[in-house]
């Protein structure tokens, strides 16, 4: 009996000792595993959500509710994604996780944000419905400076060598110092035009389309006019400058390609409706890709404008946002509420996602190992 009690006591001690050892609060000295994130496509719409999808499969990574419609494209900067909403709020989200970092709120509904922001030297630039161009410090989330115009700003600004160029519905194109907001020059149409299109800068020149059926080329150094090219209807599409060509869509149902130096037409291609979408180059296939209100995305030969392929949404819903080409895939969102990933060589569907909202903005690619890759409509020079 004594031996049995002794053995039971020893067993109990062993169990207790193992239990105490296993519950030890001593932490491992090994560093925690670093999360890994894959490249993603980020898009928003008028269903008030922002989404991140896997580039190759369309599987959803995360979603975030911004509580308002979104017309502008997402902006990627320093690992953050910025989303501007119609109610005057800009959300800053972690691009990997979709978690809100902070938000910046303008004070009333007159500050509607339709234009895509851009960023430079830790400043975020965006135009608003009150006719003001704002520069917000991304480190402190406070207004660094602002510049007023005579009407609303619905086009995106662009920056080149420290110069910020933007346009307004007041019919003027402005250039200010990006750091200080100091005025450098103004090009005026004397009220004969207004601007929805965003400017593109190539070398020493600025290109922008007007609602009065005119494409303009200006000198970057002083804003003086180089040439005008006239179309048959308003230009809402933003130009892209590629290989010496100025390419843009028009509300006269055409896509135009001009000699960027002389302003002379090289070719134009007809669609069946307005072309508000901004063209984007696909260098691998030597094409320009663009959407149309006729429900198609077109891939056009850059040399002569012939159609290499076209993709039609099933019910021919409009494509007004700009496509994005990345690693052999073309991403485009339409009014049918689908985000499509197409083979950029053939136009065949690779995957599609219904995001339950009309897509007016353009998608962006987030690559955790590199800078964000934005679409042409967001004011970046192609």
Domain boundaries, the chain: 38-378
Among 159, 238, 160, 233, which residue's Cα sits nearest to residue 196? Answer: 238
Phi, psi of 125 (to 5 degrees): -115, 135
Say whether pLDDT at 172 is over 70: yes
19-77 pLDDT, tens digit per residue, is 433 344 444 454 455 566 789 999 998 899 999 999 999 999 999 999 988 889 999 99
110-153 pLDDT, tens digit per residue, is 678 988 999 999 999 999 999 999 999 999 989 999 999 999 99
Instruction: Give the number of other CB atoms < 10 A from CB of residue 283.
Output: 11
Instruction: Read off the pTM.
Output: 0.87
Domain 38-378 has CATH 2.130.10.10: yes
282-295 pLDDT, tens digit per residue, is 999 999 999 999 99
pLDDT-based confidence at residue 108 (cuts at 50, 70, 90): low
Sequence-ordered strand ranges (E) for 189-337: 200-202, 205-210, 214-219, 225-230, 240-242, 245-249, 254-259, 265-270, 280-282, 287-291, 296-301, 307-312, 324-326, 329-333
| DSSP line for 93-140 | EETTT--EEEEEE-SSGGG---SPPEEETTEEEEE-TTSEEEEEETTT
Which residue do the tokens 């907001």 mark? 181
């Amino acid at each position: 009996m004594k031996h049995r009690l002794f053995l039971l006591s020893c067993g109990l001690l062993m169990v207790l000792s193992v239990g105490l050892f296993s519950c030890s609060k001593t932490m491992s000295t090994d560093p925690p595993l670093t999360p890994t994130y894959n490249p993603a496509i980020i898009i928003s719409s008028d269903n008030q959500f922002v989404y991140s999808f896997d580039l190759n499969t369309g599987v959803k990574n995360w979603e975030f509710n911004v509580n308002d419609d979104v017309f502008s494209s997402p902006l990627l900067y320093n690992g953050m994604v910025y989303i501007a909403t119609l109610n005057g709020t800009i959300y800053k989200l972690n691009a990997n996780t979709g978690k809100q970092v902070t938000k910046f709120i303008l004070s009333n509904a007159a500050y509607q944000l339709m234009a895509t922001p851009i960023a430079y030297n830790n400043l975020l630039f965006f135009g608003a419905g009150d006719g003001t161009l704002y520069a917000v410090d991304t480190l402190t989330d406070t207004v660094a400076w602002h510049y007023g115009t005579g009407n609303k700003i619905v086009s995106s600004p662009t920056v080149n060598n420290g110069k910020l160029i933007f346009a307004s519905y007041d019919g003027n194109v402005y250039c200010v110092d990006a750091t200080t907001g100091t005025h450098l020059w103004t090009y005026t149409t004397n009220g004969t035009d207004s601007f929805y299109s965003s400017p593109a800068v190539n070398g020493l020149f600025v290109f922008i389309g007007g609602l009065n059926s005119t494409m303009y080329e200006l000198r970057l150094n002083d804003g003086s006019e180089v040439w005008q090219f006239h179309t048959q209807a308003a230009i809402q599409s933003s130009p892209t400058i590629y290989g010496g060509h100025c390419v843009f869509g028009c509300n006269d149902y055409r896509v135009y390609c001009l000699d960027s130096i002389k302003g002379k037409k090289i070719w134009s291609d007809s669609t069946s409706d307005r072309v508000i979408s901004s063209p984007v180059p696909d260098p691998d296939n030597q094409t320009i890709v663009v959407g149309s209100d006729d429900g198609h995305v077109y891939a056009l030969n850059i040399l002569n404008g012939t159609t290499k392929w076209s993709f039609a949404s099933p019910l021919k819903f409009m494509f007004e946002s700009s496509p994005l080409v990345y690693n052999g895939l073309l991403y485009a969102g339409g009014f049918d509420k689908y985000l499509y990933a197409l083979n950029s060589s053939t136009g065949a569907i690779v995957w599609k996602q219904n995001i339950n909202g009309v897509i007016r903005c353009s998608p962006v690619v987030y690559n955790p190992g590199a800078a964000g890759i934005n679409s042409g409509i967001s004011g970046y020079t192609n």
